[in-house]
Each structure stands twice: as C-alpha cells, then as structure tokens.
C-alpha cells in the first residue's frame, strides 16, 4: 500500500484564533507549533507545509510558572564585538510581549526553510484586536 501525499493545491489551510490570557507559555507554544506544522491533520507529512494559520491575541497576559519571570534570560547578539544583549522575561514582557511567544514557538519548529515558512503563518498581537477577521478564523480552545 502506498502512502498518500496530498497535493499542495488541495491542502486546506484554516485560520484559528487563540486567546493567550492566563495560559502557560510552554503549553500554549506546543499546541501552536503542532497546529502550524499540521500534526493534527491526517494528511500530516514531515517535509510539507500543510499546517494552519494561528492568530494569538492577548500576548501580554501570558503566564510563566515558578521564578521564570525573573530568572529566564533571552539573549541576542548585535553582530559587533561584545554585542551580546541579555534581557529577563519580565523585561521582554514590558518591551515586546509578542516576542516571547514567537521565540517559544520558533524553538519547537524545524530549523530550516520549512520551519521559517511555518513560522510566517503565526500572527501574534498584544491586545484583543487583530486585523484577520476577513479570514473568518475559528476560536481554538487550548
């Protein structure tokens, strides 16, 4: 018996809205990454992008367990000598609350061009409003 591979033009990509208010970051990120990859579909294939679009609202109201808000560190390098910049999770929540969710989901996706294409289907907003109502997204309860 042969394995069925869905043609790219037949893949049905739906839109989902996730409310992040009061949700734990890691548990939310795993569900979002699974939806972006398409692992919830019977046509899932590791080398094809057949996942759905995910819109996350209320990103500033996400929750971290334990002492992670004060002790978890985020690093990035400017490219210059000695240019390593470090910020705690609390500082990131004040400056860029959407970046915390994006980095958590990005770490759970493949580290190649497929993972970058899947990450583009993730839309994160700090408030409750989003401009994707024309796509008629369904509310996803996690």
Q: Where are the alpha helices (DSSP H) in 38-127?
A: 68-71, 89-95, 97-106, 113-119
Which tokens hold the place of 87?
């910020």
The string of pLDDT tens digits covering residues 44-70 is 999 999 999 999 999 999 999 999 999
Please tell me whether residue 16 adopts helix, strand or coil conformation.
Answer: strand
Closest among 85, 11, 81 to 51, alpha carbons compared = 11
Q: What is the reported pTM?
A: 0.93
The per-residue pLDDT for range 69-123, each reduced to its tens digit, is 999 999 999 999 999 999 999 999 999 999 999 999 999 999 999 999 999 999 9
Nearest residue to 124 (alpha-carbon basis) of 49, 23, 42: 23
What CATH number labels 14-64+97-139? Answer: 3.90.1180.10
Write down the pLDDT at residue 68: 96
Tokens of 105: 């989901």
Domain ranges in the chain are 14-64+97-139
């Amino acid at each position: 018996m042969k394995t069925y591979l869905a043609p790219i033009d037949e893949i049905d990509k739906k839109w989902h809205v996730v409310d992040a208010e009061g949700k734990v970051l890691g548990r939310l990120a795993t569900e979002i990454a699974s939806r972006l990859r398409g692992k919830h579909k019977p046509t899932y294939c590791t080398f094809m992008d057949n996942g759905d679009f995910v819109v996350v609202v209320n990103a500033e109201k996400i929750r971290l367990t334990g002492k992670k808000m004060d002790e978890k560190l985020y690093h990035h390098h400017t490219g210059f000598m000695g240019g390593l910049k470090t910020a705690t999770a609390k500082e990131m929540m004040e400056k860029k609350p959407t970046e915390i969710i994006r980095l958590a989901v990005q770490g759970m996706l493949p580290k190649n061009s497929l993972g970058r294409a899947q990450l583009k289907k993730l839309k994160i907003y700090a408030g409750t409003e989003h401009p994707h109502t024309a796509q008629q997204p369904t509310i996803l309860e996690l």
